[in-house]
Amino acid sequence: EAQVTQNPRYLITVTGKKLTVTCSQNMNHEYMSWYRQDPGLGLRQIYYSMNVEVTDKGDVPEGYKVSRKEKRNFPLILESPSPNQTSLYFCASSLTVMNEKLFFGSGTQLSVL
């Protein structure tokens, strides 16, 4: 089944403890991206990747890192999480950067205490 898989689904952590949220797609998509969704602010793009080893900042990249060493994986890294990074995170992918529908993962609810 074609899908975007995020793990974990729920995560509770403490301030400053490094964490990684994984994202994997099995559709051979070139484009992958990360978003956070907050009440009243909607969905905002964090980082995106147009292909392996090619990443760029979205609207809210501060406090986040990404890497794209393989086509199928695009992990989101929080080196030193803070409470303002408590949010619902989504990973998405599409065949190419613009002209294809985006496929979303089921989301990761992160709480930073």
Partner 1 sequence: KQEVTQIPAALSVPEGENLVLNCSFTDSAIYNLQWFRQDPGKGLTSLLLIQSSQREQTSGRLNASLDKSSGRSTLYIAASQPGDSATYLCAVYYSGAGSYQLTFGKGTKLSVIP
- CB-wise, 33 or 85, nearer to partner 1? 33
CB of 1 to partner 1, least distance (A): 14
CB of 46 to partner 1, least distance (A): 11
Please give the Cα distance from 111 to 1 (Å, whole number): 30
Please give the Cα distance from 63 to 3 (Å, whole number): 27
Kindly list the residues in this chain that would bind partner 1 in the complex (CB under 8 A): 4, 33, 35, 40-45, 48, 50, 56-59, 90, 92, 97-107
- CB-wise, 48 or 64, nearer to partner 1? 48
Q: Exposed, middle or buried, 42 (CB in 10 Å: 0-12/13-18/19+)?
A: exposed
- CB-wise, 31 or 78, nearer to partner 1? 31
- Tokens for 6? 């995020």
Specify the length of the chain in residues. Answer: 113
CB of 91 to partner 1, least distance (A): 9
